[in-house]
Amino acid sequence: MAEEAQVDYTLANPDTLTKYKTAAQISNKVLEDVKKLCTEGAKILEICQKGDKMLEDEVAKVYKGKKIVKGISHPCTVSPSTYVTPYTPLVSDNEEAQTTLKAQEAIKIQLGAQIDGFGTIACDTMFVGSQEVTGRAADLALATHYANELLLRMMMPPGMLATGSEEEKKKAQAQKPYSQTKITQLLEKLVKTYDCNLIENTTCWLFGRNEIEDKKKIILAPGEGVKGEGLAEVGEVWGVEMGVSTGSGKVKTLPNRATLHRRTNTTYSLKRQSSRQTLSEVQKKFGTFPFSLRQLDDERAGKVGIVECVRGGVVRQYEVIGSTDNEPVDRLLTTIAITKNGLQKLAGPPQPNLEMFKSDKKITDEEILKILEQPLAKPSSSKPKKNNKKKKSKSAKKAAAAAAKPAQGEEEESSEEEDSDDE
């Protein structure tokens, strides 16, 4: 145990970032594979089951023969159009098990893998069977995409990518970071350009080893009495969430059974044998990462055993949440690492083909466009520094230009967050 305590699990240890990246590669690959299963008429339950199997198979391929705990950091979930939170039905709930995907609806796919307790989670929204998205659906997709890009840039500590003289760099670094209030204000201004609204209480969490809800959080569009705690800093890994709706953004608890749970750090003496057995299986299989009741050996027994676990606070239950006005919801979740060289997207939605979204709306706010022009990271050291700088500058401006045009074009290249020497 003494040796365990001395291990450096921060990003200062190159091995930590390597494990995060390995988990991210798995998350991203499976996310794309699951998307191929999402066709009109496909059952959500079957997609989730196949997604979990894909995650397990991919995790089994890495760190073979090493004494490292690895597995799923978030089960595969597929949320229908108006759902806000991750959704995954059970085999034993006959009616929900028959839920299928509808053509053109905006579905949210969320999943993740973990290596040695370093978990990454990715969520993307796709429109079932659509090659071209128009009208309000296009407004929603573009609002969410650009709001997500804006949020990522506002999360970076001030001046970390500053150039020029030492005096200019110090001046940039001395600027105040965006407060959570300012972040929400600018995001709301952006999404309203597309006649959309932020989903209330959308939360970004600091990640830690075996922890996807650490001590700091940023809450977007907070409800009454709700507030975040802290801002992102260099050396941290965050799960950055963006939620947008064509409706009011207000949410409600849906009548569906809560099937997604997570072990807490609370201790409680469970009285029922079935509860103790369920908790023991949860600890052994999932640790403190989220899991679905359908992943337990005996789903029906788990449904019984989990009740006391939730009541005693040793397991957290994730309620199924949807939009109050039954309007479509678009969600993205990106796992990022903030290093001295900038922000790296580890796991998350891939760069979308913006040309498939046809909207007559455009972003005109100069402050927002200026932020969108900013790169996420320093140029890759593998290329000539001077030429690379020019490329990044042009690429960032191209992204902002795309946001300012109704006919959307290509956005910023993803190569800026690929530098593996950022630890």
Residue 416 has pLDDT above 50, yes or no: no
Residue 408: the pLDDT is 42
* Radius of gyration of the chain, Cα coordinates, nearest whole angstrom: 21
Contact 108, 78 (CB under 8 A): yes
What's the chain's average pLDDT?
A: 90
What tokens does 409 get? 């074009």
pLDDT in tens, 246-300: 999 999 999 999 999 999 999 999 999 999 999 999 999 999 999 999 999 999 9
CATH class, range 14-254+327-373: alpha beta
What is the distance between the alpha carbons of residues 293 and 315, in angstroms, rounded to a whole number? 12
78-129 pLDDT, tens digit each: 999 999 999 999 999 999 999 999 999 999 999 999 999 999 999 999 999 9
Q: Which of 174, 141, 171 is closest to 246 using CA atoms?
A: 141
DSSP state of 188: H
The reported pLDDT for the residue numbered 419 is: 44
How far is the C-alpha of 153 from the C-alpha of 378, rounded, in Å? 13
If one compares 287 and 164, the residue with the highest pLDDT of the two is: 287
The answer on pLDDT for 170 being more than 80 is yes
Residue whose C-alpha is closest to residue 196's, from 330, 40, 12: 330
Chain-centre distance for alpha carbon 53: 20
Query: Which of these ranges, 40-54, 131-145, 393-407, has the smallest mean pLDDT?
Result: 393-407
| Rounded CA separation 55/107 (Å) | 20
Dist CA 127 CA 133 (whole Å): 8
Give just the sign of the alpha carbon dihedral 93, 49, 306, 200. Answer: negative
Q: How confident is the model at residue 214 (pLDDT cuts 50, 70, 90)?
A: very high
Of residues 407 and 400, more confidently modeled: 400
% of residues, the chain, pLDDT over 90: 81
14-254+327-373 and 259-317: same fold? no
Let me know: does 315 contact 262? Beta carbons within 8 Å.
yes
Distance CA 292, CA 282 (A): 10
- In whole angstroms, give the CA distance from residue 152 to residue 204: 11
Residue 245 confidence (pLDDT): 98
Cα–Cα nearest to 74, from 261, 298, 313: 261
Local confidence band at 411 (pLDDT 50, 70, 90 cut-offs): very low
Q: Which pLDDT does position 6 carry in this prediction? A: 82
Q: Six-digit token pair at 223? A: 């409800």
Average pLDDT over residues 371-398: 67
Q: Per the structure block, which two tokens stand in for 118?
A: 């370093």
259-317: in CATH 2.30.30.40: no
Residue-wise pLDDT tens digits, 300-338: 999 999 999 999 999 999 999 999 999 999 999 999 999
Q: How far apart are CA 62 and CA 284, in angstroms?
A: 20
**Which residue do the tokens 């337990």 mark?**
296
Distances (CA, A) of 136 to 14, 145, 221, 242: 44, 14, 21, 18
Question: What pLDDT shows up at residue 5?
Answer: 59
Question: Which residues 6+ apart lie within 8 Å of 174 measured at CB?
Answer: 158, 159
pLDDT recorded at residue 387: 52
Q: Is the pLDDT of residue 384 over 60?
A: no
- Give the start-to-end residue ranges of the domains of the chain: 14-254+327-373, 259-317
pLDDT band at 167 (very low <50, low <70, confident <90, very high): confident
Q: Is 124 left (phi over 0), alpha (psi -120 to 50) or beta?
A: beta
Question: How many helices (H) and strands (E) would you count in the chain?
Answer: 11, 16
pLDDT at 257: 94
Averaged pLDDT for residues 377-398:
59
- Between strands 202-207 and 217-220, the pairing is antiparallel
Q: Which of 399, 86, 417 is nearest to 262 (CA)?
A: 86
Phi-psi region of 332 (alpha: psi -120 to 50; beta: other; left: phi over 0): beta
Residues contacting residue 201 through CB under 8 Å, at least 6 positions apart: 219, 220, 221, 222, 223, 226, 251
Could you give the 3-state DSSP secondary structure of residue 85?
coil
